């Protein structure tokens, strides 16, 4: 009975506290400074089935922001502050995070990386109203590359369709150059979800153009058992397998390929199936030879990584050193860099104060990072040069291929560009359809 | 035809992997009438503890094995003491729900203790077609029929492990004193209690044994998928096996696993392409459901007779 | 003291059958409705409306639907999210194919569509019981999202399979702000809750409870088992379908089939268990608890860490949440297996006597 009483009281206090004002609790963020800071709202995921992929990205993102504070004292004299919100890769939780991060700073959360396609879709209609730019590196709405229809969404670097097209180009060079794909057979092994369906259309067109046979085999979520899919692959006897996996599925695919004796050298993963978490899950030796397309290179040999190790980790302010230099951690760093450079760009126009969402949007849309600029930032070789414009919110659209050598990823190609004409045509068609459904006026006015 | 056989055998062996998980469910249901949803989380916890002890504490394999076994037993005993004992005589749905709460708790505990990273798990068992393994061992494989050559050596070991496990459990139930007491408890709690069987001890033992089964399942699945959070999903593979085999039958778990595995793979390979594929996730459930319509208590489940 | 029924007499059958026979209850409900309909839209911030109150109401409705099936008719279901998906996608297609239809009509039609699907998946319940049935409803949980992904027509052939909902429009009035959407959801939920309350007091509700308590006995006294169970599935699915439509239209604005996964089904099941099985009010209490708890824990754990001057590694907060969440569910079931609704009853009894001990 006593237990019940305690319990009842705790419920009441819980409810009362829950109704209290919460805006004062700003905890994972840096200590509040007297001077206004540039506030970064970070939506990430570190727990749950996709936590192993989300944690390095969020860590890299924060490590880079810490670097700027520690080394440069912020950005042009403006300190950087941030708060991370756990989305668990869940759309509903992601929306709650977005609403929460929005209220944390009068200027808004700079720009949001939703880190999930589902959350991106949920935010596309909200972002213009709240004037918060969305940056979606390698996920989200592909046709948002057309900035005339989606002024607030930036799928920077490259999108799924560019990637699929680039993978086909890469296979062609591997097979021995032009026209070598004719009569070959390629299997697309994909996660049976909205994400896995992304490359279908473009691969079908490419199959016609190149004359290869395309067989598409879905793996039901979560994909931790793929006996039957690989039985089918064995029966089909494909020349190549393109792996469009996510979470536990990617590692299991590699492992099952070994199980049925399919050569890993003939498997190409996309960037969500090409990180250390995937090869480690399958076992480092089982993954040897496995190839993956990527938008950024892994490794510690980049100046920025060394800087982070020196200024952040040696001072004990880093997240988790075992992530440093991995594919996903580097991607997190690159994401942070792009966001920060957009702010810097905006500051050049509007003055060295904290920037609002509207100003940051201008900063992203007019972003131009040349090779020289990347070298200066320490990102030379890790990411391709990128130029954004109102028409083209994507940028270069190139990917690079890395191969697992049993211990680490090794780059085996230069930046590969897909059929950008085709990709652009599909993007514009799809964006036009969306614009007419939603009655959006095309425009590049702002 | 040989492809059909290959799929069939592959399916049967995949089914054994499901049975390994299903066994844990059956043990607890049989002894205490609890549908323990946390079994998947226990599998995850066990596997993560095994690799975590090696990676973080630097234990050798045997010590890690003993360490994780001890932790599983502690977890089992604590579950019985803290969670289930206060709920004696509550309706089954409350017990089921409490195990869902337990699922969250165990998942959180595992990640708090060992982190959220992915660990590879190498048991030293080759995972490749058996012909390759045999050739590597310098054996001549000419006499082996082609269909058998394609059997995966890891699957084969898994089948042997599962077989041994079931045999050991059968002996344990049939011969030992504790085992007999356990069967008595399963039959009728109150009658067992009235003849002096210590119910609480028995339940603690059952939860420990289920923890052990979870460890075995965790190691086998962990070697396949890598040790990561997604291991909790293996429970979803075990549920149709349970419906088909019956919640309270050990042989049912094995036979159900074989049937579900084979049906699922055959359906995916032969029927799947007509529907755009990916059907196996629900096909197993639908197959089990259709079977239930004929036999509502599952293949080996105990028939319930209703009286007013 | 505060909750005394003494002196309140029922002088006619009508009074005896009133939903709220006691004066205090009447006042209480009026106050709650006033707060919900008047005070909250004026006072609450957008964050509260969009991130907390609207999801709370939507989940309450889904929990109510599940509670009718599980709490009143005794049929355990783990397919709630799938039925919500049917509702969401049905509403989307009705709006898409018949653009001039008021949103409310689409929601009702979506509910009816879901009811038909629900009845179809309820048929096995005639043979199967208990956990076997629960696992069988998983067939629906996996089949429906699969179908929605596979058949492009449902998503209007969107390349990614995600649907973005149309604006909610009823006879030219567009519900475009959080407060307006909240108002719409609240009205629908309040109305359906009233219907549910009356339903479970009716002949049908009593038949459900008879089936729940012992279906053989119910059959013996002349209740048609098949009809009763299937109606339970139908009505429950109707509620879940409307909840799904509101989830898509008023809350998220865009949904994908994979969003309606098993986790969501479990969340809703938690709500009714924690709130109280077989209680209309319990559905609301449970939904409030499950919606608020993670947000609340987030704050408490962070604040606690700050007070104790601990620097929690990133991600640990989320794991702690998981631990506390699981622990609380266990704790709840041990302390009060009948849920929050039962606690409320105990509180009422206490209030009746207070400040005197007996």
What ipTM was reported for this prediction?
Answer: 0.88
Confidence of residue B280 (pLDDT cuts 50, 70, 90): confident
Cβ contact (<8 Å) for C217 and B308?
yes
C333–B contact, CB cutoff 8 A: yes
Domain limits of chain C? Answer: 21-260
Measure CA of the first residue to CA of the last residue in chain B; give whole Å.
53
CA count, 13 A, side-chain hemisphere, A308: 31
CA distance A285 to chain B (A): 10
Q: Would you state the pLDDT for residue A117?
A: 87
Rounded distance, CA C239 to CA C65, Å? 5
Rounded distance, CA C256 to CA C248, Å? 9
CATH T-level assignment (fold) for domain A34-158+299-397+426-438 = Rossmann fold (3.40.50)
Q: Which chains lie within 8 Å of chain B at 3 or more CB pairs, if any?
A: A, C
- Do residues A159 and A292 touch, judged by C-beta distance below 8 A? no
Cβ contact (<8 Å) for B281 and A252?
no
Chain A residues with beta carbon closer than 8 angstroms to that of C164: 121, 124-125, 438
Rounded distance, CA C232 to CA C220, Å? 19
Maximum CA extent, chain A = 80
* Mean pLDDT of all residues belonging to chain A: 88
Q: Would you state the pLDDT for residue C313?
A: 65
Confidence of residue B308 (pLDDT cuts 50, 70, 90): low
Domain limits of chain A? Answer: 34-158+299-397+426-438, 160-294
SS3 of residue A213 by DSSP:
strand
Judged on CB neighbours under 10 Å (0-12, 13-18, 19+), A284 is middle
Tokens 């009235």 -> residue: B194
Residues found in chain C: 358
DSSP bridge partners of C116: none
Cβ contact (<8 Å) for C255 and A193?
no
Rounded distance, CA B88 to CA A245, Å? 45
Q: Would you state the pLDDT for residue C342?
A: 87
Express each pLDDT in B42-97 by its tens digit: 999 999 999 999 988 999 999 999 999 999 999 988 988 898 888 877 888 788 88
Chain B residues with beta carbon closer than 8 angstroms to that of A51: 111, 116, 229
**Contact pairs from chain A to chain B, CB under 8 Å:** 122
Strands A134-135 and A153-154: parallel
- Do residues C165 and C219 touch, judged by C-beta distance below 8 A? no
CA-based nearest residue in chain B for residue A233 = B269
Which of A56, A88, A225 to probe by mutation at the B interface, max B CB count within 10 Å? A225
Q: Do domains A34-158+299-397+426-438 and A160-294 have the same CATH topology?
A: yes
Chain B residues with beta carbon closer than 8 angstroms to that of A232: 268-269, 273
Nearest CA to A300 out of A292, A309, A312, A311 is that of: A309
pLDDT at residue B192 greater than cutoff 90: no
Measure CA of the first residue to CA of the last residue in chain A; give whole Å.
66
SS3 of residue A412 by DSSP:
coil
SS3 of residue C163 by DSSP:
strand
Question: Tokens for C229?
Answer: 């169970």
The low-confidence residues of chain A, meaning pLDDT below 50, are 1, 11-33
- Give me the torsion for CA of C209, C215, C216, C221, rounded to 10°: 30
Q: How many degrees, rounded to 5, is the angle at CA A403 between CA A398 and CA A409?
A: 95
SS3 of residue A152 by DSSP:
coil
Domains of chain B with CATH codes: 2-294 (1.10.3470)
Give me the residues of A, 214-243, that contact C with CB < 8 A. 220-221
pLDDT string in tens for chain C (358-residue length): 667 777 778 888 888 788 887 888 888 889 999 999 988 888 888 888 988 999 999 999 999 999 999 999 999 899 999 999 999 999 999 999 988 889 999 999 999 999 999 999 998 888 888 778 887 788 899 999 999 988 889 988 877 778 888 888 888 888 988 999 999 999 999 999 999 999 999 999 999 999 998 888 999 999 999 999 999 999 999 999 999 999 999 999 888 888 898 889 988 998 998 888 889 999 999 999 988 888 888 778 777 777 777 666 667 777 888 888 889 888 888 888 888 888 888 888 888 777 776 6
CA distance B84 to chain C (A): 8
Phi, psi of A406 (to 5 degrees): 105, -25
CA distance C322 to chain B (A): 5
Give me the residues of B, 220-239, that contact C with CB < 8 A. 236, 239
Cβ contact (<8 Å) for C146 and A59?
no
Cβ contact (<8 Å) for A47 and C315?
yes
Which of A49, A259, A283 lies at the smallest CB-CB distance from B230? A49
SS3 of residue C255 by DSSP:
strand
Rounded distance, CA B22 to CA C252, Å? 37
Q: Would you state the pLDDT for residue B306?
A: 65
Chain B residues with beta carbon closer than 8 angstroms to that of C321: 108
Section B226-236 average pLDDT: 89
Tokens 């609450």 -> residue: C44
Rounded distance, CA A270 to CA A428, Å? 23
CATH T-level assignment (fold) for domain A160-294 = Rossmann fold (3.40.50)
C55–A contact, CB cutoff 8 A: yes
Q: Would you state the pLDDT for residue B214?
A: 94
Which of A259, A262, A290, A323 to probe by mutation at the B interface, max B CB count within 10 Å? A259
CA distance C227 to chain A (A): 35
Peptide bond into A222 cis (omega under 30): yes
Cβ contact (<8 Å) for B105 and C220?
no
Chain B residues with beta carbon closer than 8 angstroms to that of C316: 112
Rounded distance, CA C219 to CA C170, Å? 45
CA-based nearest residue in chain A for residue C313 = A319
User: In Å, how far are A28, B44, C10 from C319, measured between CA atoms?
Assistant: 15, 15, 54
Stated pTM of the model:
0.90
Question: Tokens for B218?
Answer: 């965790």
- Do residues C255 and C162 touch, judged by C-beta distance below 8 A? yes
Judged on CB neighbours under 10 Å (0-12, 13-18, 19+), C92 is buried
Q: Would you state the pLDDT for residue C210?
A: 94
Cβ contact (<8 Å) for B104 and C127?
no
Give me the residues of B, 107-126, that contact C with CB < 8 A. 107-109, 111-112, 116
């Amino acid at each position: 009975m006593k237990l019940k009483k305690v319990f009842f009281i705790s419920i009441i206090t819980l409810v009362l506290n829950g109704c209290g004002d919460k805006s004062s609790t700003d905890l994972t963020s840096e200590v509040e400074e007297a001077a206004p800071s540039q506030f970064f709202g970070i939506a990430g995921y570190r727990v749950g089935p996709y936590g192993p992929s989300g944690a390095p990205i969020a860590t890299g993102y924060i490590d880079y922001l810490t670097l700027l504070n520690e080394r440069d004292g912020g950005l042009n004299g403006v300190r950087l502050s941030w708060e991370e919100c756990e989305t668990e890769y869940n759309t509903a939780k992601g929306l709650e995070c977005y609403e929460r991060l929005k209220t944390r700073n009068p200027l808004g959360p700079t720009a949001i990386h939703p880190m999930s396609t589902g959350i991106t879709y949920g935010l596309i209609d909200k972002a213009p109203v709240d004037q918060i730019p969305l940056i979606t590196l390698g996920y989200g709405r592909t046709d948002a590359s057309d900035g005339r229809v989606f002024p607030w969404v930036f799928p920077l670097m490259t999108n799924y369709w560019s990637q699929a097209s680039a993978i086909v180009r890469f296979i062609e060079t591997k097979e021995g150059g032009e026209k070598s794909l004719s009569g070959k057979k390629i299997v697309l092994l994909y996660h049976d979800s909205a994400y896995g369906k992304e490359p279908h259309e473009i691969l079908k067109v490419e199959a016609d153009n190149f004359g290869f046979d395309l067989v598409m085999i879905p793996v039901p979520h979560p994909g931790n058992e793929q006996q039957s899919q690989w039985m089918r692959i064995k029966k089909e006897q494909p020349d190549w397998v393109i792996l469009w996996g996510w979470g536990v599925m990617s590692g299991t695919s590699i492992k099952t390929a070994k199980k049925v004796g399919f050569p890993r050298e003939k498997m190409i993963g996309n960037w969500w199936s090409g990180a250390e978490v995937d090869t480690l899950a399958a076992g480092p030796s089982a993954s040897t030879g496995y190839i993956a397309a990527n938008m950024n290179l892994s490794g510690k040999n980049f100046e920025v990584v060394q800087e982070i190790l020196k200024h952040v980790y040696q001072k004990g302010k880093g997240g988790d050193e075992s992530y440093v230099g991995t594919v996903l951690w580097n991607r997190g760093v690159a994401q942070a860099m792009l966001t920060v450079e957009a702010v810097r760009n905006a500051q050049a126009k509007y003055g060295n104060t904290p920037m609002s969402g509207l100003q940051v949007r201008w900063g992203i849309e007019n972003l131009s990072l040349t090779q020289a600029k990347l070298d200066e930032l320490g990102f030379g070789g890790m990411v391709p040069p990128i130029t954004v414009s109102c028409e083209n919110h994507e940028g270069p659209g190139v990917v690079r291929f890395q191969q697992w050598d049993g211990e680490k990823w090794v780059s085996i190609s230069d930046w590969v560009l897909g059929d950008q004409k085709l990709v652009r045509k599909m993007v514009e068609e799809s964006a036009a359809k969306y614009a007419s459904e939603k009655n959006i006026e095309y425009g590049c006015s702002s | 035809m040989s492809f059909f056989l290959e799929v069939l055998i592959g399916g049967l062996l995949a089914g054994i992997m499901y049975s390994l998980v299903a066994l844990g469910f059956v043990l607890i249901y049989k002894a205490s009438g609890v549908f323990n949803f946390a079994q998947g989380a226990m599998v995850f916890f066990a596997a993560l503890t095994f690799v975590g002890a090696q990676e973080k504490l630097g234990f050798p394999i045997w010590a890690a094995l003993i360490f994780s076994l001890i932790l599983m037993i502690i977890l089992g005993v604590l579950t019985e003491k803290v969670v289930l004992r206060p709920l004696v005589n509550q309706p089954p749905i409350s017990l089921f729900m409490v195990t869902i709460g337990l699922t969250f708790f165990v998942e959180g505990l595992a990640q708090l203790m060992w982190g959220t990273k992915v660990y590879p798990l190498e048991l030293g068992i080759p995972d490749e077609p058996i012909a390759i393994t045999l050739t590597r061992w310098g054996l001549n494989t000419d006499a082996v029929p082609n269909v058998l050559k394609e059997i995966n050596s890891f699957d084969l070991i898994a089948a042997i492990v599962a077989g041994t496990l079931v045999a050991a459990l059968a002996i344990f139930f049939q011969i030992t004193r504790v085992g007999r007491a356990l069967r008595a408890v399963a039959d009728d709690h109150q009658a067992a209690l009235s003849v002096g069987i210590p119910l609480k001890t028995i339940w603690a033992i059952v939860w420990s044994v289920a923890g052990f089964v979870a460890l075995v399942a965790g190691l086998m699945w962990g070697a396949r998928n890598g040790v990561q959070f997604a291991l909790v999903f293996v429970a979803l593979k075990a549920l149709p096996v349970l419906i088909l085999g019956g919640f309270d039958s050990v042989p049912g778990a094995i036979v159900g696993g074989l049937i579900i595995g084979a049906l699922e793979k055959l359906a995916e390979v032969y029927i799947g392409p007509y529907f755009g594929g990916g059907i196996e996730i629900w096909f197993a459930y639908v197959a089990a459901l259709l079977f239930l319509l004929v036999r509502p208590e599952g293949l080996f489940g105990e028939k319930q007779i209703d009286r007013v | 003291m505060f909750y005394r029924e003494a002196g309140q007499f029922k002088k006619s059958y009508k009074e005896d059958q009133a939903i709220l026979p006691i004066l205090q209850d009447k006042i209480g409900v009026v106050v709650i409705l006033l707060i919900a309909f008047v005070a909250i839209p004026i006072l609450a911030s957008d964050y509260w409306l969009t991130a907390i109150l609207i999801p709370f109401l939507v989940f309450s409705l889904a929990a109510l639907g599940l509670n009718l099936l599980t709490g009143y008719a005794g049929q355990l279901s783990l397919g709630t999210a799938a039925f919500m998906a049917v509702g969401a996608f049905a509403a989307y297609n009705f709006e898409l194919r018949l653009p001039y239809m008021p949103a409310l009509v689409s929601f009702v039609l979506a509910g009816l569509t879901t009811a038909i699907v629900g009845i179809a998946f309820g048929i096995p319940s005639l043979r199967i019981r208990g956990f076997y049935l629960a696992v069988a409803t998983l067939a629906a949980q996996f089949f429906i999202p699969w179908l929605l992904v596979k058949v492009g027509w449902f998503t209007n052939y969107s390349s990614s399979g995600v649907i973005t909902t149309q604006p909610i429009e009823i006879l030219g009035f567009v519900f475009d702000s959080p407060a307006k959407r909240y108002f719409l959801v609240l009205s629908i939920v309040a109305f359906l809750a009233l219907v549910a309350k009356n339903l479970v007091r009716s002949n049908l509700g009593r038949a459900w409870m008879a089936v729940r308590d012992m279906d053989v006995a119910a059959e013996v006294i002349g209740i048609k088992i098949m009809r009763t169970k299937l109606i339970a599935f139908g009505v429950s699915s109707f509620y879940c379908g409307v909840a799904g439509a509101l989830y898509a239209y008023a809350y998220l604005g865009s949904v994908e089939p994979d969003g309606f996964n098993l986790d969501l089904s479990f969340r809703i099941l938690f709500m009714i268990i924690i709130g109280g099985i077989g209680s209309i009010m319990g559905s609301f209490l449970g939904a409030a608890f499950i919606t608020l708890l993670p947000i609340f824990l987030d704050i408490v754990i962070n604040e606690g860490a700050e007070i104790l001057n601990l620097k929690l590694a990133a991600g640990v907060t989320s794991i702690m949440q998981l631990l506390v969440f699981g622990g609380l569910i266990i704790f709840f079931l041990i302390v009060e297996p009948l849920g929050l609704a039962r606690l409320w009853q105990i509180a009422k009894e206490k209030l009746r006597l207070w400040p005197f001990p007996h």
